[in-house]
Structure 1
Amino acid sequence: MNKHKFIIFSIAVVLILCLIILRKNILTVRGNSNSSNNNQFSLSQLNMQKLDINLSYENKKIKFNLPIGMKNNIYYIPLNDVISNFGGTLTRTNNKLNLTFNSINSFIDIKGNTYMENNKTYNLRHKIFLEKNIIYISMFDFTNIFNLKTYWNEKNSEIDFYKNRENILIDSSLDEKKAALIRLEDVTAGGAYNSHDTLEKLRIITDYLYNKHAVFHVAWVPRYVDPSKNIDNNLLKNYNMFNADFLFTLDYMISRNGIIGLHGYTHQYKNTKSIDSIEFHMGRKDTIPEDTEYAEDRINKALETAHEFNINCNFFEAPHYAILPPQMKAIEKFFNYMYEPYSENGGLTECKNIIKFNESNRKAVYVPTPLGYVDGANDCKNMLNKIKKMDNNSTASLFYHPPIEFQYINLNRNKNGYPTYTYSINSPLHQIVDEFEKRNYKFCSIDTFVNKYK
């Protein structure tokens, strides 16, 4: 063999080897193809549990060759199966995915945990799992990427996916306005949130605020407790469809300008009921511990819960603003903001201005809510009067309990099963948002708000 032929032969061998290596790192799913690795796969390899539920898309049941997974009440679906069931395409090259589904083309970076649509990059809420060419994606991320609406039917252990027919038109005209703050109060997996319908209504409220280009804050109570009914709803231990829907809803809120903060851990102590009761000592004759170790332990447990769900808690708010200053000071180091009035006596008196500590041993920002809250639907007029009386030096900040809105939202399903609703423009929240708009205010993030009032 002469030198010229040897060079050509060598190049050919190298190219063949490169193609073999490349092929091992490329997966293409199209039509009804199945992975040859299914028989060797087990969810235990991904540290997940098998979930016995049915999923459908546009009323057509999805036939899975692989099991649906669950990890810490987050549902995961085998992307290969869903794409192949409905004529989409999936191509993987190394850690990059190219997906087409529901007339949407998306690029996912598994390693970076991001996806790209229309040349914009977004973070995925949860990690994608890859094992032997089998790909699992969180159900929320899948529905979010491909703009799907969900209907949760716990009675039949079924979740229905539909192409989202809602027109979300974000009002960007609010961009150059005065800063205001709104916090959705007492959001927890229990109490007023006691059904899939209530969680659907919370998502509808989220869409309304998102349409208004409003940034909103969510005071989340991670663990709901009601000893009188023997309820202790620990999201890390109680695996059920309602809790999965609740976490799906938190993800939904985060994806639509929601900023999550901690409102205590259980919003109660011992034999008292969550939301109704206080959690920290406030200087009265009660049995709640007043040491800082107790306060830090409660916050650490809450933060551990948030960490498991990839929730970044940007602020803290003590239940009913009741907490001793030493306990509050111990908690400050865990958060960027203390979203409540600064108080020197456990909440008995409150400062109505933003208070900043910027010392060598203490850096904290306290942001109050001087407008207070709406005490039920009949109190809306009182809040509107407060907003009308604000001057340019006022701190335009309030908190609102979403269940007040529930009576103004009617849920239904059309003849094709698609979830529909009506939402009255006369609801208290609509009136409040409209009044702020009339006065040239925009609901913004707590970061932006504080910077406006340096």
Structure 2
Amino acid sequence: MYTGILMKRGLKLLISVIVITAIAMSFSNFLILGDKSEGEPVVQALGSITFCDRPLSLTRPLYFVSGRLFVPLIEIVTEMGGKVVFEDESYILKWQTGSFAIDATEEDGLYRQLCYINDIPYIYLYDLANICGLCAVFDSDNNKVSLYRYKQLKAYAPDNSDLEKAYIRLEDIVADYGTGGNFTDEGLEKLRGMADYFASRNQVFHIAWIPYFKDPENRIENDLTDNFDFYNAGFIYTLDYLVSRGGRIVIHGYTHQYGDTKSAIGTEFGPNDHLTPDEIRSRMKEAKRIAEALGFESNSFEFPHYSFTKTSVEIAEEIFDTIAMQYPYAGKYGKVETVYSPLRGITTYIPTPLGYLDSLDRVEDMINSINTSPAWEFKGLFIHPYIDFKSIEFQDAPAGFRVMSYDINGIIPRLVERITDTGYRFSQMD
């Protein structure tokens, strides 16, 4: 059986291709060609969507497009009580008391551009949620997404540009199918809530993301550019959510493991990992490829556990512009260093001299360090975000709303409050 697939990038170009449909593991595999020579993988997603706990009766299928969940634009908006009309080369999405125009001839203003499948316009779920003021709750065990009305946190410090720059990095974010207990569907929703908090306080955060999850003992490997399912769609949705709220991607190794160790546990490029220069280069380039294939920044890198060799540092300098660690040959500890090599070009090193924030008690220690450190010393730190998940709660509320609460005594709220009092703000450093 042959199926015609049509896709339009930015609603400017319509290209038709004929592909062979292959049925495997309850999915239909397609290839869509856009405005570039390479195609994007498109896989039919067998699942369901609810709106305010009401199942939506969609007659058209859902699709994973390069891993992201796309939904039929006109049908889903209509099912939720809105309307979509086509006027003057634009789709006009009418929702409640407002409307949003997706221009057919100019930039459409979406996070990911519309695609056409069998002449039907499909929209990325994140864009739909963003336009309509909704939040998405993923239930990957049941291949289900629940949409609710969502009130964004009000901006508390909209202008803090006069404050000095500091740096925070959220460490070891990985699509591990929830096996570590931290990045389950619930954990990823809380991570999105944390991003909302940072954005409401006008704080920039960095995301130390491990591109490829590997657990040799349990024979689990997860490549987001190859494994298309509801968990991975929820994880990519979360990364998109974080980036759109000020998060900056830092590639944290390739697998962040070596041999039989599990991702985020082992090292990868250190003296005990016994990789050849070609293997080091291959891993770093593959990590960069995954980031670029998903449309993320790929120029910043962090060595797992800060473990490296002279060779792995030199190769990282070839491939990346920024390395998140102390420059190995720095004259002073704690300074941001920009170095130049005739062979490798310019590389900026961003250290975290304040160290690892592992508890609420450590917040005041770090503030004291800021107050007593030399003016030239960089104010950088890192934290595992899941240690503060207990401070974040989501609850369903009347009229189909989902409400987030973040305990003001949580680690992140307390840290942001105290570092602001000290005259600093978390900022972009790359």
Aligned 8 A contact 1:343 1:350 in 2 = no
Aligned pairs for 1:1-400 (under 5 A) are: 44=30, 46=32, 47-85=41-79, 86-91=81-86, 93-94=88-89, 96-109=90-103, 114-115=108-109, 124-131=110-117, 133-169=119-155, 171-190=157-176, 191-282=180-271, 286-289=272-275, 291-344=276-329, 351-361=333-343, 362-400=345-383
Which structure shows the higher helix fraction? 1
Which structure shows the higher strand fraction? 2
Q: What is the alpha-carbon distance in structure 2 between the residues aligned to residue 246 and residue 393 of structure 1?
A: 38
Q: What is the alpha-carbon distance in structure 1 between the residues aligned to residue 362 and residue 60 of structure 2?
A: 52
SS of the residue corresponding to residue 114 of structure 1 reads: coil
- From the superposition, tell whether residues 287 and 367 of structure 1 become closer, same or farther in structure 2 (CA, over 3 Å): closer
SS of the residue corresponding to residue 239 of structure 1 reads: coil
SS of the residue corresponding to residue 291 of structure 2 reads: helix
Shift of 1:295: 1.6
Could you list the per-position Cα deviations for residues 129-172 of structure 1 after superposition, in whole angstroms to 9, with x for gaps in the alignment? 13564111111122122221112233443211122133432522
Could you list the per-position Cα deviations for residues 371-422 of structure 1 after superposition, in whole angstroms to 9, with x for gaps in the alignment? 1111344544433332332343221111111011012223333366643343
Aligned 8 A contact 2:292 2:298 in 1 = no
Identical-pair percentage: 27
Could you list the per-position Cα deviations for residues 57-86 of structure 1 after superposition, in whole angstroms to 9, with x for gaps in the alignment? 223322223211113321000112123322
- Structure 1 residue runs without a partner (length 5+): 1-26, 28-40, 116-123, 448-454
Q: What is the alpha-carbon distance in structure 2 between the residues aligned to residue 50 and residue 170 of structure 1?
A: 42
Shift of 1:350: 8.6
Shift of 1:224: 1.7
Q: What is the alpha-carbon distance in structure 2 between the residues aligned to residue 377 and residue 136 of structure 1?
A: 44
Q: What is the alpha-carbon distance in structure 2 between the residues aligned to residue 87 and residue 98 of structure 1?
A: 11
Aligned 8 A contact 1:125 1:310 in 2 = no
Q: What is the alpha-carbon distance in structure 2 between the residues aligned to residue 262 and residue 180 of structure 1?
A: 20
Q: Quick one: which amino acid aligns to residue 154 of structure 1?
A: S
Count of aligned residue pairs for this structure pair: 392
Q: What is the alpha-carbon distance in structure 1 between the residues aligned to residue 198 and residue 298 of structure 2?
A: 20
Residue in 2 that maps onto 1:11: none
SS of the residue corresponding to residue 356 of structure 2 reads: coil
Could you list the per-position Cα deviations for residues 202-254 of structure 1 after superposition, in whole angstroms to 9, with x for gaps in the alignment? 01111110011011110100112222333222223333322211111000001
- Structure 2 residue runs without a partner (length 5+): 1-10, 12-20, 22-27, 33-40
Q: Which has the larger radius of gyration?
A: 1
TM-score by length of 2: 0.83
Q: Quick one: which amino acid aligns to residue 340 of structure 2?
A: N
Q: Which moved more, 1:49-58 or 1:100-109?
A: 100-109
Aligned 8 A contact 1:184 1:402 in 2 = yes
TM-score by length of 1: 0.79
SS of the residue corresponding to residue 328 of structure 2 reads: coil
Shift of 1:114: 3.4
Aligned 8 A contact 2:114 2:122 in 1 = yes
Residue in 1 that maps onto 2:17: none
Q: What is the alpha-carbon distance in structure 1 between the residues aligned to residue 141 and residue 311 of structure 2?
A: 48
Aligned 8 A contact 1:184 1:399 in 2 = yes
